[in-house]
Chain A
Amino acid sequence: MPVPGTRLQTPSFSRRSAVSRRRFLQGSAAVVASLAATNCRQNLAGPPAGGGANDGTLRIYTWANYTDDGLAQAFTERTGIPVVIDIYDSNEVMLTRLQAGGGDAYSIIYPSDYMVSEMLELDLLTELDQSLLTGLENLRAQWSNPAYDPNNAHSIPFCWGTTGLLYNREASPGEPIDWNFLWDNQAKLSRRITMLDDMRETLGATLKSMGYSYNSNNPAEIEAAYNRLLELRPHIAAFKTTGFENELLSGDLSVSMAYSSDAIALTLEDDRMQYIIPASGASLWTDTLAIPATAPNVDAAYQWINFLLEPEVASAAVERLFFATANQAAFDLLPADIQNNADLYPSDEILAKSEGIVAVDTASTDLFDQFWTEVTSA
């Protein structure tokens, strides 16, 4: 009797185990898939959700080139306050993170001009107590009452710059003079161009190349710019704000649209790299220092702003990091070769043709959004 029993049992057992193995495969497939899905978010979302730990640390959320270890160490030595720096690569990333629950994670942020206006509308910035600030008189006169934030009530201009074309002389079919260079040489430059992954800058430069304003509120002009950018799009290798440097140096890319602060560092590193501010004008931007409305450790934030307003600190930082300081007293301390660097401090003639990007009306914002999504998805 036991013999048939075992014979019956053995196959049924193995069948069960086969089923459970298949179940395991299904289960593991689902688990791994969901892991893979969350993984990408982890890799690309930079800063941890700070959770507003008010532990005496100064948490700064800034652009890549504006701080370095030297600056942070000097501040810590002076004040005893440890500094943690997180990096963002677009104003929108910074805004989204603050709105999506990160409002108490950072004490200092570096929004650009138009973003200051937007954040003011959303009540996301602290009104600065002027009595706690020292060294405001060091700022250049042109920033005493900027349009994006009257009387600097919520933000302190930190640095400024332009957006132009960075190119590799050996890999470019000529010397670009104006934005039109990209359209005129599109066949030679095919997939050797990167444009900024920045809606207002890239559509704005296209508007400018047609003689319109960066801040156009005219639907016909915005649509014309969209069509012109669409014409160039097959020749654009990628829309990226950072990460084009290596390929430009190796000659795999010829021209990249770039912020002057990023471009100039590269031109000083390698003679083949050149930066131009297009002849028909570029965008002029100001990056500021601001304190989020829900910031922890506000005292430390004021100390950081005052620290950066000191002429010696600011000029030493400029010598290492190559941004154009908005601090006149710091500018005066700079060596002559930096003061005379026309990429960093362009002539008044070019400045007069250039424009700051300001918020456009809602209908135009919707058009910009729609056309930008379409041009990048095509």
Chain B
Amino acid sequence: MTPAPSPTPAVTWTDRLAPRRWLGPVTLLGPAGVWLLVLLVLPTLLILEISLVPGLRLGQPSGGYGLGNYLQILQPVYLRVIGRSVAFAVGSTALCLLLGFPVAYWLALMSPQRWRNLLLVAFILPLWTSSLLRAYAWTTILRPSGVLNAMLAAIGLPAQNWLNTPTAVFIGLTYSFLPYMVLILYASLEKLDTRLLEAAADLGATPRQSFWKITVPQTLPGIAAASLLVFISTLSDFVVPTLLGGASSMNISRLIYNQFLGPTRAWGFGSALSMVLILAVSLAIALLIRYGDRNTITEA
């Protein structure tokens, strides 16, 4: 006996939506999509357009489209600026990793459980102040009559004059981005399966072996994420090179700033430089995503 179809089937809220399956995604993604379109995609296209007008100065007639701005980047002096930016980014990322990994390891695996959260907060506390203020603070530490040399003199070491040199930029960048490195590494190390470490020890692995064969491989996604994040941030940093590097450290962000707000007002050239930076950062993000995916595949 088949049940008679009910004359008025109970139509639920979700059933009514079912024929319009697109509605859900659209409502969920719409606001963010509009936001990205208006504030990211359109401005980037605008920059792309301006970058294709050689010799553009605002308020003056332009000479049509061309690749002149991009060709200008290939001059040795600007290639050096890009090379310097990459060197700042690679160097300070490596320093952050070297300094940050032991800290994150200790925080995640060795620090007393009851203090752990407090220690973590203490470590990210500097992020509560403006990055500009922190960079200014470093100028008073690093200048010849500053705190650093007072300390060096107290322990009998020769004075250093690091302000307005690339050394100061490395110090400032490493200081600024170390908390990000530690936070991400901490999140990664916290999930480390310590039973594997115990098993390795039981089977006779030395601490060094189990570190390189278990701890590092398991936290590699975290290391990659943290390093790429720090790399991207330091590559485009403006505040630290400006305040601590002085005349010695023109990097790509400062060069872009000078094209828009400096005396030359070469918006076309500045836009071309911006496109190069956007491309470099996008590549780094693509690497991040691709790297993660490959791991998922090997894991599965």
Q: Which residues of A contact B (CB under 8 A)?
A: 15, 18-19, 21-23, 25-26, 28-30, 32-33, 36-37, 39-41, 43-44, 90, 92-93, 95-96, 99-100, 121-122, 191, 197-200, 233, 236-240, 247, 250-252, 368-369, 372-374, 376-378
Contacts and interface: CB of A to CB of B under 8 A. Distances in A.
A33 B143 contact: no
Given A40-B237, A40-B238, A376 B188 contact: no
B145 A373 contact: no
B47 interface: no
B163 A252 contact: yes
A30 B288 contact: yes
Contact of B289 (A26, A200, A368): A26
17 contacts: A22-B221, A25-B225, A29-B229, A32-B180, A33-B232, A37-B236, A43-B239, A92-B265, A197-B262, A199-B263, A200-B263, A236-B246, A247-B143, A251-B145, A252-B144, A373-B77, A378-B77
B161 interface: yes
Given A29-B229, A33-B233, A377-B78, A21 B187 contact: yes
A96 B184 contact: no
B123 to A, nearest CB: 16
Nearest to B243: A243
Given A252-B163, A374-B77, A29 B239 contact: no
B100 interface: no
A26 B264 contact: no
A25 B247 contact: no
Contacts of A122: 59
Given A92-B261, A238-B247, 10 more contacts: A22-B225, A25-B225, A25-B292, A26-B289, A33-B229, A44-B257, A92-B262, A238-B164, A239-B246, A378-B250
Q: Give the one of A21, A191, A233 with max B CB within 10 A.
A: A191
B247 A236 contact: yes
Chain A to chain B: the 7 pairs with minimum beta-carbon distance, closest first: A238-B246, A199-B263, A29-B229, A25-B225, A40-B238, A369-B264, A33-B232
Interface string B216-258: 0000011001101100110011110000001100100101011
Given A99-B59, A377-B80, A26 B236 contact: no
A15 B193 CA distance: 12
A338 B163 CA distance: 37
B229 A19 contact: no
Contacts of A21: 187, 191
Interface in B171-189: 180, 184, 187-188
Interface of B: 58-59, 77-78, 80-81, 130-132, 139, 143-146, 161, 163-165, 180, 184, 187-188, 191, 221-222, 225-226, 228-229, 232-233, 236-239, 246-247, 250, 253, 255, 257-258, 260-266, 281, 285, 288-289, 292, 295-296, 299-300
Contacts of B295: 22
A120 to B, nearest CB: 11
Contact of B265 (A19, A96, A376): A96
Contacts of B239: 40, 43-44
B143 A29 contact: no
Given A32-B233, A43-B132, A237 B260 contact: no
A191 B164 contact: yes
Q: Give the one of B80, B191, B225 with max A CB within 10 A.
A: B225
Contacts of B144: 252
B265 to A, nearest CB: 6
Given A30-B285, A200-B263, A233-B247, A99 B58 contact: yes
B225 A32 contact: no
Contacts of B232: 29, 33, 36
Q: Give the one of B145, B161, B247 with max A CB within 10 A.
A: B247
Contacts of A39: 131
Contacts of A92: 261-263, 265
A21 B192 CA distance: 13
A228 to B, nearest CB: 16
A96 B191 contact: no
Nearest to B259: A373
Contacts of B180: 32
Contacts of B188: 25
Q: Give the one of B146, B188, B260, B262 with max A CB within 10 A.
A: B262
